[in-house]
Amino acid sequence: MRVFQVRGAGGTSRLGLQSEGRTLVLQSAHEGVATTLELLEAVEARGLQPERWLAAAEKADRLVEVLWDDLARGGDLRLTVPVTPPEVWGAGVTYRRSADFREEGTGFYDRVYSAERPELFFKATASRCAGPGEPIGRRRDSRFTAAEPEVAIVLGRRGNVLGYTLANDVSAWDIERENPLYLPQSKVYTGCFAFGPTIVDPAEAGDPYAITLRCRVLRGGREVFVGEASTAQLKRRFEELAAWLARSNDIRTGTVLSTGTGIIQPLEVGLEEGDVVSLSSPELGELANPVVLV
Ligand code: DO4
Ligand code: MG
């Protein structure tokens, strides 16, 4: 099963589900569930079973079948973030390529790549997140900002993995390179994180270490960068990253942890206003976002 959220004219987010080839959108709350976060919380707090809830909601006429392509095109109902996250965190230097690119003789990046403790950083609040088609930001004081295409995991309150999604940990690399103490400013700002289009549950995702990702940067419709990676190249396990995040740190159901990039955009092709960053994965779907200056 995959879950997503849509937003209509009223601006509130509503739950949608993809199951057995059908795309369904919830019309009104059923058993206290109207959003993805409420669904995940009900699963964790009261043992709600999504398949049974779905069957009951259908019987109660709370769901309407729609076409995924209509949602993706964005009419009256358009896709938004697949969950409104209590917090978003990032893991860094989890792929050799990211360590090699970032390392400049400091030793920090190489050391964290092979250390027992991973790099984890606070990434975003819900208001800084973009869903499918929504704008991502390039800071006005950054000359080189890059897309960081990643697999993100959605967590339960014990750090358990509830699902997988595509993510873009958009980052101002020039600010990070100037001084590692500037990392929070390179990572956290308006429109710094995109994710979606859906959350794929572990049963449907298959082998989480065989997820492939492709990133294209389009400028005026022309492709100026394309890169690929696979979670087969990930140095750490998803559960390991989640367990470190949950150490001495209460996390809430629906917390998103983006697990690091294996795709490095070349320094000559930083993001510009009007670019579109398009991520795709046969396992996780497609996520495209236009770039705006913030
Ligand atoms: O160490 C800086 C951030 C690394 C990162 O975000 C990544 O490797 O994806
Ligand atoms: Mg990253």
* Residue to mutate (ligand 1; options 89, 169, 173; most atoms within 8 A of CB): 169
Residue 153: which CATH number?
Answer: 3.90.850.10
CA of 164 to the centre of ligand 1 (A): 19
Q: What is the pLDDT of residues 178-212, one digit of tens each?
A: 999 999 999 999 999 999 999 999 999 999 999 99
Same-domain status, 183 and 139: yes
Residue 244: the pLDDT is: 98
Nearest to 163 by CA among 276, 245, 43, 267: 43
Residue 103: the pLDDT is: 80
Is the beta carbon of 169 within 6 A of some atom in ligand 1? yes
CA of 171 to the centre of ligand 2 (A): 7
Same-domain status, 124 and 199: yes
Residue 57: which CATH number?
Answer: 3.10.330
Which residues in the chain show pLDDT less than 50?
Answer: none
76: domain range? 2-80
Burial class (CB in 10 A: 0-12, 13-18, 19+), 2: buried
Same-domain status, 167 and 21: no
Residue 11: the pLDDT is: 87
Same-domain status, 103 and 158: yes
Number of domains in the chain: 2
Pairwise CA distance, residues 99 & 83, whole Å? 30
Q: Which tokens in the block code for residue 45?
A: 């707090």
Is the beta carbon of 80 within 6 A of some atom in ligand 1? no
